Amino acid sequence: TQLLEQSPQFLSIQEGENLTVYCNSSSVFSSLQWYRQEPGEGPVLLVTVVTGGEVKKLKRLTFQFGDARKDSSLHITAAQPGDTGLYLCAFRGGSNYKLTFGKGTLLTVNP
């Protein structure tokens, strides 16, 4: 059973377009993290959302945590080729600190 379902799996858009990717679960989480992974590199943390309904902005990236803390979304405004990468959501276990990932959304932004 996949605890975190990410959609879409692949997304190819033109520079300047807006997009939203999703991270869904039937479980309730105390927090969710979003990472971006560029080709040939390891994932890099973008943001952590903690409170239900929380919205966090990172330049052109807007992250939202669902009211019930079961889902999260990432919206990118005016995408640029530099946004290309694999976007991963993850949750961290409480007592053992294990980090569990969704399978990710592979975003390609074409110039």
Q: Which is nearer to another protein, 24 or 48 (CB)?
A: 48
Phi and psi torsions of 24, nearest 5°: -125, 150
Q: How many amino acids of this chain bind another protein (CB under 8 A)?
A: 23
Tell me: does residue 58 bind another protein (CB under 8 A).
no
Look at residues 61, 65, 66 and name the one whose alpha carbon lies nearest to residue 18: 61
- 61 near another protein, rule: CB under 8 A: no
Distances (CA, A) of 47 to 12, 85, 90: 23, 16, 11
* Binding segment (CB under 8 A) for another protein, from list 10-18, 43-51, 59-67, 71-79: 43-51
Q: Side-chain half-sphere of 2: how many Cα atoms within 13 Å? A: 12
Closest CB to another protein among residues 28, 50: 50
d(CA 104, CA 93): 19
Count of CB atoms situated within 10 Å of the CB of 29: 24
Q: Which stretch binds another protein (CB under 8 A): 17-25, 28-36, 61-69, 76-84?
A: 28-36
- Which residues bind to another protein, rule: CB under 8 A? 30-31, 33, 35, 40-45, 48, 50, 88, 92, 96-104
